[in-house]
Structure formats: C-alpha cells, structure tokens
Copies of this chain bind each other. A is one copy, B any other.
Amino acid sequence: MITVTSVAIVGLGLIGGSLLRRLGPSHDVRGYDADPATRAAAAEAGFRVAPTVEDAVAGAGLVLLAVPLPAFEELVPAVAKSAGPGTLVSDVASVKVAPREMMRVHAAGLRYVGGHPMAGSERSGFAAGDAHLFDGAPWLLCLDADTHLADWLELARLVAGLGCRVVPATAAEHDTAVARISHLPHVLAAALAGAATDDLSRKLAAGSFRDGTRVAGSRPELTAAMCDGNRDALADALDAVLARLAEARDALGRGDSLLPLFAEGYAARQRWVGSGMGGAEVILDAAAPTLREDLLRLGRSGGHLDEIGERRLHGWRPAG
C-alpha cells in the first residue's frame, strides 16, 4: 500500500479551504484557487499556494478537485495536461456520475476515484473553512466497475485518517441517494421560502418555517449547479414527492384527514433518527477476492469503514 503524502488541492472554498487546513499539518500540500484574492488569503494564513493550476498539480501524488461542477469542464483538461501519468485524482463534487464521465473523456490517463464528503454549511468561501468540518462525517468514495481497488483503498485510508466514515457506493447509487436527501431538500426549501408572500406571514413565521427554509439561504448559483448536475435522479426523487403531495392535496379536497401523510413521515423520520444507533462491527479481509462486492454491500446496507489496514478493513453496519 502506498500512502499519499504530496497533495494538490484545487479550489479553496469551504471544502477545499477546510481540507487545506486539515491536511496542512500532516501532508505536503499545495493549494490553488482561480480567484487571486482567495489565493492571497490562503497564503496569508500560512499555506503553500501555487500561482497556477499547473504548478499546483505538477509532481503531486494526489490531486483533489474541490471546485463546483461547472468548473470541471475547464479544469479537468488542464489537470490532465500537467499531472504526471497515472496521478491519482479525486474530487468532492456533490454529484458523481457527471465528474466521472468528464474524467473518462478528458483525463483517461489519470487514476480517478470520485468522492463526496457529506459535510458543509450554508456558509461558503475560504474564510468559512474549518479543519474540523469533516470530523465524523460520512465521506462517500465511488467504487465503480472501472475503479481500481488499490486506488480506492489508498483514498479510503486518507479519508479514514481524517476521522471520516468511508462509505463505498457506485456513482449512480450516490446520485440517487443525494437527490433524495440533499438536492430534494434544497428544492422544497426554495419552494417553501417563496410561499411567505405577505408581511403577516413573514411576521408569524417561526421554527417550522425557519428550519424548512434554512438551506434556501445557500448561494443559489451553487445550489443550482449541484442540482442541474444531477438532473435525472433529482427528477425521479421530485416525482415521488409530487405524487405524495398530490395525494395530500386530494385528501384535503375530499375532506379526508392528512393523518396518513404525517404518520408515514413520522415513521420515516424516526427510522432515520434511529438508523445511526446500534449496529454491528464489520471486519473485511483486504485480500478477499469478493472485496469489491463486500464493500458495495456494506455501503448499500448503510455501513461504513473507519480503519483501512493493510490486511483488514474495520467498519460498522447498522442493525436491521
């Protein structure tokens, strides 16, 4: 097993800036951001900052792309040109099918393992970065048919070393899940925020409105880029919710109670709250010929890894 020590982080916003702070003390890290002011802020904070993406990437053992999806189109070919052949590349974009396709088309000579740390805040930019942003967070790493297991394990070891829970899944599985639990909440929050159209409503709005609209306070261009990049999975998730809401609307019109909707929602919320409790330890044999399937099965069951050893991988799987 090779352990990555030299890392280039391209994009120093909330996620990239937090990674720079987190990896800085233990790794040989260079940062780069397209925005000169962000580069200056990172340099002033004491980090090594490259003047160009080429300088950042050249010679790095691992390149972490921490830019929003729309920036990939320009960035990926630039990285492909400057990175040494076979350099390991990962990213933190909140969708995974689209970046994988871009890497396949524009950077076929590099090794790629897509990633997604499930951490964030409605704040953004380098100044909002925090070395502890990832503490205990799930960090999904894509294990697709063409992913090299050795590359995946290398990334998994780095991510587990950050104190994250490594979740294996295919890019498509990831995109379906985040459509349901991240992109859909953003769509509903925006629609709900727009419902407070008068001063009396705004005056009376309190807890349920505040929580229901919180993520509508995120920068709309970033949210749109994220959701536009996961169009098909989000459409499916939205269809399911629209069907449920149409049923509720019909019940209101018929004079029926909304209790079935709320009972179902309550049960689902309780199940989610309870899903992190209990469960069992998991040990996987790193040399097992079934490792790839073992990992994907673990991810599908809601499990994760927290220690990547040479011979055994240690993790957790929820009960039931």
Footprint of B on A, CB under 8 Å? 118-121, 137-138, 140, 167, 169, 173-174, 176-178, 180-182, 184-209, 211-221, 223-224, 227-228, 231, 234-235, 237-242, 244-246, 248-249, 252-253, 255, 257-259, 261-266, 268-273, 275, 299-304, 318
Is B249 a contact of A238 with CB atoms below 8 Å? yes
A224 CA / B195 CA spacing, docked (Å): 20
List, sorted by A's number, 24 A–B pairs whose CB atoms are closer than 8 Å.
A119-B206, A176-B201, A180-B196, A180-B197, A181-B206, A182-B208, A189-B269, A190-B261, A193-B269, A200-B300, A202-B271, A203-B299, A203-B302, A203-B318, A208-B215, A212-B212, A213-B268, A217-B270, A224-B257, A228-B259, A235-B252, A238-B249, A241-B245, A242-B245
A202 CA / B190 CA spacing, docked (Å): 22
Complex contacts, A185 vs chain B, CB 8 Å: 192, 208-209, 211-212
Contact residue among B201, B238, B245 (Cβ-Cβ distance under 8 Å from A187): B245
Contact residue among B181, B215, B224, B265 (Cβ-Cβ distance under 8 Å from A189): B265
Q: Helix, strand, loop or mixed for chain A's interface? A: helix
Complex contacts, A248 vs chain B, CB 8 Å: 187, 191, 238
A200: nearest chain-B partner, CB-CB: B177
Is A213 a contact of B269 with CB atoms below 8 Å? yes
Is A299 a contact of B200 with CB atoms below 8 Å? yes
Is B301 a contact of A224 with CB atoms below 8 Å? no
**A266-B217, A275-B199 known; A204+B178 contact, CB < 8 A:** yes
Is B264 a contact of A194 with CB atoms below 8 Å? yes
A231 CA / B203 CA spacing, docked (Å): 22
Is A262 a contact of B167 with CB atoms below 8 Å? no
**A194-B265, A242-B242 known; A189+B212 contact, CB < 8 A:** yes
Is B209 a contact of A212 with CB atoms below 8 Å? no
A202: nearest chain-B partner, CB-CB: B275
A196 CA / B274 CA spacing, docked (Å): 13
The smallest beta-carbon distance between A162 and chain B, in angstroms, is: 16
Is A191 a contact of B302 with CB atoms below 8 Å? no
Contact residue among B199, B240, B244, B303 (Cβ-Cβ distance under 8 Å from A300): B199
Instruction: Return the 3 tightest CB-CB contacts between A and B, nearest first.
Output: A190-B265, A199-B302, A220-B262
A255 CA / B228 CA spacing, docked (Å): 8
Complex contacts, A272 vs chain B, CB 8 Å: 193, 196, 202, 205, 209, 213
A217 CA / B237 CA spacing, docked (Å): 21
